[in-house]
Structure 1
């Protein structure tokens, strides 16, 4: 729930309401115009313009926010103890968020976010593996 709050509802409610009040069929077209479907486009931009953009926050924030997902999912439910199950669930969860952003104008669809979030989930999973072996 915190993840959805931080990713989608990061703006003040008044701003979100203003966005919702303007929703029409054109919202989807605007989402498609601003969407990034090219892998590594945003990552490359943050690296090239690292001195002018909040690159660190965006790149590492997208990874860090899903580390708990990857660690907690197999810890809470042993049916998700396989790496690929964590990855598939992270992918589906993040894809749902990204598609919501695409069609709602609450943020922007970015395929690089999908990649970075799933990488974060895998880091969390690997951390869970290390913790489990030491315990």
Structure 2
């Protein structure tokens, strides 16, 4: 897939069909984008599992934080990645290794690695990169 441009229907379909999200790189700091996006996603009815090894066992926005994707207690539809682009390949490896793979890997603004995306897509996982669901949702779903 060409990740320079996404058809609006592709992103809208992902946002409408997703119910559960692992938010990788979640921060308890309300000034951080990951915290604000997590709050937005929760407000839209998504179930969000924050993942951050440094915050594991604590709570962010009332949700228990998990150390790794594998620690999340149920399969998720989407992994929303708030990590630097150089970590995306490892995140995709971790997602591919899960017993039940997510349907989507979503790289936040500036998170893009086309080779990693190819690997995810070869494993049957859709990929969105360099986009924010909190920006796309009001534009395409609300």
- Greater relative contact order (Cα 8 A, min sep 6): structure 1 or 2? 1
Q: Which structure has the larger Rg?
A: 1
TM-score, normalising length from structure 2? Answer: 0.25
Bigger proportion of residues as strand:
2
Instruction: Tell me which protein shows more helix as a share of its residues.
Output: 1
